[in-house]
Amino acid sequence: MNTENNNPIIVGLDIGTTKIVAIAGRRNEYDKIEILGSGFSNSSGVNHGMVLNIEECNKCIEAALDDCKTNNPYLEIKEVYVGVAGHHIKSIQTQGKRVIQNEDDVVARKDVEMLIKEQFKTSIHPGDQIIDVIPQEFMVDSHGPFLRDNVVGMSANNLRANFHIITADKDAIKNINRAVTRSSLGIKDFELQPLASAAAVMSPEDIEMGVAIIDIGGGTTDLAVFHDGIIKHTAVIPRAGVNITQDIKSGLGVLKSQAEQMKKKFGVALSDEVNSNTFISIPSIRGHKPKEISAKNLAKIIQSRMEEILDHVQHHLRQLNLEDKLHGGVILTGGGSQLKHLKQLTEFKLGLPARIGFPNQHIAGNEATKLNQPMFATCIGLILRGYDDVDNKRFTNFDANTIYEQSTGAATTEVAEQTALVQTELESLFPVEEETVVEEVVENSITEEAIDPIVDDNNDHLAQDLENFFKLEGEEIPEDANAVPEQKEIPREKRTNGLKKVFSAIGKNIMQIFDDEEDEKLN
């Protein structure tokens, strides 16, 4: 059984276009992630998932870390797992072959690893670099297909496999690295954001039945498609929340801040669900007359952009010939997934069942309720990625992140013992004949109050500010039917085995797949 003290602290850092999130967690005895701290900040210097201004981005990372420190002052963060996204991410399919050369003609684990390693020599665009090689189907001689874990030990003359290779722009990876390391942080590993999100919201049953993960962020919409137990496709669509905000700004002639507030407060993805008699009143600004915005027109603008994003998803599924084979349907996650009636629009456009993906099955602790939102799926997935590395012993050291509470307690105990020893020696050297004990009672006037866990009340403040700023007239916009589904507790053993299957389908870590000196390092 795992204990809290025996497990390392893993920190996920999600650098997005609109927000930066840092979450620290540690696996508890029930194999869930106990949240130790979380921090958030607005993002600057990032456009469509790419870090363009290193200094601005670094300031935002520092702000998120400071917020996390406020949340848990005993937490010390020294290394992180970082999510990678952006329209520079590309993927290709390739095939590899290896002749089995050993006395028994049996496929060894080393043969599988060497076959994967050889794919890093695949020819790609000069400005890109391979950041991950994900094995798919394996063939042993003329037999197969088999999953990766099943081919080890088979008798064979040759081993073939299909691979999903993910590439990224070298400069984009370098900029992320610079922005993070300026904060004296070490990068333990990079992980593709859609794969991290997928790990947090899907189950082994989803992978087997076939499922598409659509992560709608601020700057990009990330897609990951799974079928028959393996990952089939990844893609980054350069359309997301910021595009919707810009559409509202241009289409309704309002300020960007007003457009963002209207999207969050009154945004609906299906215009048919909004009554034409509903209006949003915007007060006057510097002498301008007040505006009345039709809530139905607002919904039409949002629906148009969301349909464009879903058209891109449908195009990818058609190319894979999986449009009608994903029996697990679609899982919507990311901050944009919480638009009202988006689930219904997705089902109508793609012809597949859809649901909102929450990371609640993997997290525990006082902050679990606060973080059980689709926008935090990537960060939770990065922590799960870290523990997959721990379980598979891909790294030797996971001691960088610490909680001072433990070491401080040990130091305090040691000082107290030394003080007692000195006091005993002094009493033996200088005995006191008559000792008058004077007891002083010091009343502490400060009453300790139970401190509630820090909550992300930005949404509450936003809602309050918005109600003061906007006045909704006419009928109320209908509430979304997409409530957080009540999920049954998954047994520990099943959840552990499920995570192993998920990460087996996703692949391995990006930064350190092999220890060969010839492998390119990310500096």
Three state DSSP letters for 205-266: HHHHHCEEEEEECCCCEEEEEEECCEEEEEEEECCCHHHHHHHHHHHHCCCHHHHHHHHHHH
Determine the Cα–Cα distance for residues 459 and 461; give it in Å rounded to an integer.
5
CA distance 266 to 340: 9
Q: What is the pLDDT of residue 385?
A: 93
pLDDT above 70 coverage of the chain, percent: 77
Domains of the chain: residue spans and CATH: 90-169 (3.30.1490.110)
pLDDT above 60: residue 300: yes
Spatial separation of the C-alpha atoms in residues 344 and 330, rounded to whole Å: 11
pLDDT, position 23: 96
**What value does the mean pLDDT of the chain take?**
82
- pTM listed for this prediction: 0.78
pLDDT grade, residue 197 (50/70/90)? very high
**What is the reported pLDDT for 500?**
66
Q: What is the largest CA-CA distance in the chain?
A: 97
Beta strands at 46-47 and 211-216: parallel, antiparallel or unpaired? unpaired
The more confident residue out of 270 and 405 is 270
